[in-house]
Structure 1
Amino acid sequence: MRETKRHSGYFAVVKRECLILTSRPLYLFAALIFPLFALFFMTTIFGNGMIENIPVGIVDEDESTMSHEIERLCSAVPEIRVTERFANTAEARDALLSKKIYGYLIIPHNFQEDVEANRNTTLTLCYHYAFLSVGSEVMQGFLNALRIIAVTPLQQTTEFLGVNDETLETLASPISISSHPLYNPALNYSSYLTFPYFWVLFQILILLNIAYSFGNDFNDKRKIVECLKTGNDKFVNVILGKLTPYILIFTSIAIFANVLMFDIMDFDLHSKITSMITICFLFIMATCSISLFLFSIYSHLPIIISFISMFGSLGATFAGVTFPVNAMYPIFEKLSLLFPIRHFVVITDYLRYESHAFLYCWKSILMLISFNILIILATILLKRRMNKAIELKPLN
């Protein structure tokens, strides 16, 4: 009978929390609609996953047949597109600074004349490298186009000597390089950025939702009493009952996100999708635990919401998506272990790219599981605070 009463208290708190979610549109929007919007936004923001047709310019000081041929070659490569022609370098630099273009090529005076006379000449390439990915693509696009021009003087000489094209290719590039971009052979930005970027944002939403949900009830004496009465005066029922609806919602979003990315969008995955969903569930539990623990330390809602937002933003950095953690200062590398998102990214990277991932990431899996200990600590701290707040007999 006592066991039935305890369970009824838990389910009563779950029902109460579900009613709060459905009766207040803002709660439902923050917990369900906005994460789904973020998911669709992240999966479509990169388009086809390739950076193409980046606008660039040409400063043609030679106005020769060869300089016009260079312009045509630059327009032919997929990475860049010649959109501007400038009379001088100053105009090109102004356009680069205003981001009308992301790079420009300077063809000097007497370029064709120097090439035909076998004199050394230089083509100057300037590109915006404040944007690393765009700058790299611009540089690669120009180099692909100019590689043909670079062998033109040698081609004219070898034709005069009667050397065939196959021998010319060997002379121009005696060492062949066979490049194999592993794990992302299509060089698709969506493949390796969409998944972690979504979860970096999702962890911030989880942190904020949990903290606000508990803060809205536990900072009001009347609501504290109501929660305890609903949970049959069992504080564990209150904690678990309030967490359950959010965990179910977040887990459902995680399942949908995995199906969307790995089944529908066909992102690379070298393990079973059930393994990914399991790790996502562990991550959701760990993030909820962190949020609840931080709230239990300091209950003033506006301040703790600000702190949790900062914690989530730092997690975006320590996740190691845009900059490798092992290249940071050692103290920051150690601090990254305090963020569930870091362990999640490590695990999912192995799951996505290695078929025997557990051999490499079992430590991170244990760390994710260990974060759930914080729920116990948070429950103890919150129980003490509630006892003082309502000035009743100690809670069970």
Structure 2
Amino acid sequence: MLREWKRIFSIPNFYVVLLVIPPIIFLFYGFIYQKQFAKELPMAVWDEDRSSVSRMLTDMMEQNEYIHFTHTAFSNAEIESLMKKGEIFGAVHFPKNMEADVKKDHQSNITLYTNGAYLVPAKMIYKGAAEVIIKGGLAVVLQKAEKQGMPAETANTLVQPIKLNTTTLYNPDFNYQMYLTPGLITVGLQMALIVASVLILNLEFKRSTIDELLKISTSSSQIFIGKMFAHLCIAWILFLLVAFLVFPVYHLGKPGTYFNFFIMYTLMSLACIGIGMMVSAISNNLLLVTDIALFFTSPAFVFSGFTFPRTAMPWYDQFYAEIMPYTHFLDGFIKIYFMKLPISYAMPEIYKLLLFIGVTFSIAILFFQNKVDTYLKNQKV
């Protein structure tokens, strides 16, 4: 273990991947989402009605935190042109005679344009505009009913007989920094640990230090335990960095969750180290194992279900997600960190991570012991 510590701090392949790049990346992840919310998204208004109703709805939409009118358009083509130039994310069109149609009890159609190429802004604009237009439509009907002599309470019940109340739990403000930064940081940790781990054994042969290692022990299990603890200690240093530096800097800490977070993180770290050492024990090709590590870890964020539910993915994508330790860590992390649930709620994910650890280390030890025995036999010959 002490020997591996010295290697980690003296070989650039290790200390750059484990100790230099992660802190920089983690701080940048938080910096990207420091505004926390996407507000005042630029929009255009195309008002052919030019009435008190269209002006009222425009003013109401401008008051919404997601919407900010920056352009006035006069045609569908102009709206498309502004979107293509990236100057607006959406637009609203009030048709001619809208107010007159409303007064005559005729339906009038307002058109909301959103740019589906930018999925999140499009949904936010739709949410903000839909709320305003629905409220505005109800207000017009309510005003007419009151003018006809109907009591306000009766008119309100008639206009909206069923009222929907929504309650959003665990991230009620839709804070992007609170939502995305922890996920990006933890997936970055998985990548760093696996990429470094696939080099643990191969670099012994690449740098011709295998004889030095075998003088300490020829038992692959002893070698693995020592190297594993050395890299686990580095993983714990990264945990301290994340939990007590990065999270506090960006106000992401959740009191009472750190111990459970530490348990889940430790299990994910061991699973990642196990996968890396298993690949390293099977193949001596340094370039190949590095490519495998990058190919395996790169899509983890997408396949984990963090941004798109796994149940909506094809079965083969769900299978791919299941063979990544980050997927199970994330499921448990959401429970214990975002929801602040007891560790018992994450037991299914803990069992899966323990299975990863047991399988990968067992395979790695068997392959490496065979490699050691073959090497020593050739040396004697």
Please report the TM-score for the alignment, with normalisation by the length of structure 2.
0.89
Which runs of structure 2 are paired with 1:35-46 in the superposition (5 Å)?
Answer: 35-46=22-33
Q: Which has the larger displacement, 119-128 or 40-49? A: 40-49
Q: Does 1:103 align with 2:90?
A: yes
Letter in 2 for 1:377: I
Contact 1:42-1:197 at 8 Å conserved across structures: yes
Which 10-residue stretch deviates more, 181-190 or 50-59? Answer: 181-190
- State the partner residue of 2:368: 382
> Is the 1:14–1:242 Cα contact (8 Å) retained in structure 2?
yes
Paired residue for 2:224?
A: 239
Deviation, 1:353, is 4.7
Provide, for residues 161-216 of structure 1, a one-character-per-residue CA deviation record: whole Å limited to 9, x for no partner. Answer: 23344443322211122211122222223333222222112211211112134332
Which shifted more, 231-240 or 166-175? 231-240
Give the Cα–Cα distance (whole angstroms) in 1 for the partners of residues 253 and 133 of structure 2. 33
Determine whether 1:282 maps to 2:281: no
The answer for the alignment partner of 2:4 in structure 1 is 14
- What pairs with 1:51-130 in structure 2 (closer than 5 Å)? 51-130=38-117
Determine helix, strand or coil for the equivalent of 2:43: strand
Greater mean alpha carbon deviation, residues 253-262 or residues 31-40: 253-262
Distance in 2, matches of 1:15 and 1:41, equals 28
State the AA in 1 paired with 2:171.
Answer: N
Task: Please say if 1:365 is aligned against 2:350.
Answer: yes
Q: Is the 8 A contact 2:27 2:246 kept in 1?
A: no
Match of 1:4 in 2: none
2:141 and 2:57 map into 1 onto residues whose CA distance is 17
Cα offset for 1:376?
A: 3.3
3-state secondary structure, aligned to 2:365: helix
1:96-137: CA deviation from partner (whole Å, max 9, x where unpaired): 234321111111122233333433211111112343322221
Identity %: 21
Question: What value does the CA root-mean-square deviation take over the aligned residues?
Answer: 2.7
Letter in 1 for 2:114: Y
* 1:228 paired residue number: 214
Letter matched to residue 131 of structure 2: N
- CA deviation after TM superposition for structure 1 residue 18, in Å: 4.1
Contact 2:89/2:114 (<8 A) preserved? yes
Q: After superposition, where does 1:289-328 map in structure 2 within 5 Å?
A: 289-328=274-313
TM-score normalised by the chain length of structure 1 = 0.86
Q: CA 1:205/1:19 → structure 2, altered by over 3 Å: closer, same or farther? A: closer
Q: Structure 2: give runs of 5+ residues left out of the alignment.
A: none
The amino acid that maps onto 1:273 is Y
For residues 224 and 341 of structure 1, what CA distance do their matches in structure 2 show? 31
- Structure 1 residues 184-193 or 278-287, which shifts more? 184-193
Are residues 1:336 and 2:326 paired? Answer: no
Q: 1:151 to 1:235 in 2, by over 3 A?
A: closer
Higher alpha-carbon deviation: 246-255 or 163-172: 163-172
Structure 1 unmatched ranges of 5 or more:
1-9
The answer for the alignment partner of 2:15 in structure 1 is 28
- Structure 1 residue 360: deviation in Å? 3.6
The whole-number CA distance in structure 2 between the counterparts of 1:46 and 1:313 is 21
Residue 355 of structure 1 deviates from its aligned partner by 5.5
SS in 1 for 2:379: coil
